[in-house]
Amino acid sequence: MRWLSKVFILTFILLGSTAWAEPLRVVASFSILGDMIKNVGGEDVAVTTLVGADGDAHVYEPTPADAKAVGQAQLVVVNGLGFEGWMDRLIKSSAYTGEIVVASQGVKPRQMAEEHDGHDAHHSEHEPDQKPTGHSHHHDSDSDPHAWQDLGNGQIYVNNIMTALAKADPAHAEAYQQRGAAYRAQLKETDQWVREQLATVPPAQRRVITSHDAFGYFGAAYGVEFLAPVGWNTENEPSAKEIATLIRQIKKEGIRALFVENMSDPRLIQRIADEAGGVVGGSLYSDALAPAGQPGDSYIGLFRYNVPALVAAMAKN
């Protein structure tokens, strides 16, 4: 009997170290990163996402609950490229001292469209220990932070996440590598699908107006020209003069495909469409995913939703 209870205790200790191991506590700055981490981490991670579905990370105000989540995290994953201007303050107030993973590490940054002169100047490579900058929103910095809009970059993000999870939790390193490789293959397949879809639109018609300049990487990767009202970001609206200039341009170039982003106010783009004779092709997912259970509620789903909407609208140009 005593021997049996010893076996039970030993079994419990052995199982306890594996089966009941707590999942790694990871904080993601926004929903797209949260989804990537879940795909690579599976049941071995518990992910807290700070800026959730339909949320705007540019103007986000962290809450005391966020500070608590960051303080208890074992790993924090951010986009970098000046995207999370509030992150430095949040890290400070949370007293977090662990690793900050910059998911965009190794991506060639583009500059924001307003700031380069018609050619896309590649920004110099960031230092390897790049930390999120303290900008209030990305238009203060010259890098365009929306690098995930190119699925090639998405694969770089996944590699960085996979490496960081394996380092933080070596016991599950192999599982992270397997899931990461499988997920990367899905992203590669999606990239191919995006190219096939867009190939159905004649190059001259691949032009779109969006409410916020978030598709520079998508445009460069997949050969679509995105025009956004100058000076318009998620905090400021363009002047009446800028809107009038844009309306003239839309009429002159016969662009009918207009889109609003899921975290923007649709009224202005609707007004531009009405005055310019364009059609609002719906909303596009740019900086945030859709709520769970809706189309566009995952990183891959974002492309599966956006691309057919873009193709249908551009066909009217």
Half-sphere exposure of 158 toward its Cβ, with a 13 Å CA cutoff? 26
pLDDT of 63 above 90: yes
Q: Alpha-carbon distance 155 to 107, whole Å?
A: 10
Percent of the chain with pLDDT over 70: 82
Q: Alpha-carbon distance 79 to 60, whole Å?
A: 14
Q: Which of 115-124, 211-220, 282-291 has the lowest mean pLDDT?
A: 115-124
Q: At 206, phi and psi to the nearest 5?
A: -80, 70
Q: What length is written for the chain?
A: 317
3-state secondary structure 282-301: EEECCCCCCCCCCCCCCHHH
Q: Alpha-carbon distance 211 to 213, whole Å?
A: 7
pLDDT of 135 above 60: no
Q: Greater confidence, 230 or 315?
A: 315
Residue-wise pLDDT for 154-174, tens only, equals: 999 999 999 999 999 999 999
For residue 113, give the H/E element and its range: none
Q: Which of 295, 303, 280, 262 is nearest to 57 (CA)?
A: 262
pLDDT of the residue at 198: 98
pLDDT of the residue at 138: 39
Rounded to two decimals, the pTM is 0.84
Q: Greater confidence, 79 or 271?
A: 79
Q: Once rounded to an integer, what is the mean pLDDT over residues 176-189?
A: 98
**Longest C-alpha distance within the chain, in Å?**
90
Q: Which domains does the chain have, with CATH numbers?
A: 19-190 (3.40.50.1980), 192-314 (3.40.50.1980)
Q: Once rounded to an integer, what is the mean pLDDT over residues 228-232?
A: 66
Which three-class secondary structure state does DSSP give residue 132? coil
Average pLDDT, the chain: 86
Confidence label for 253 from pLDDT (cuts 50, 70 and 90): confident
Q: Alpha-carbon distance 104 to 147, whole Å?
A: 7
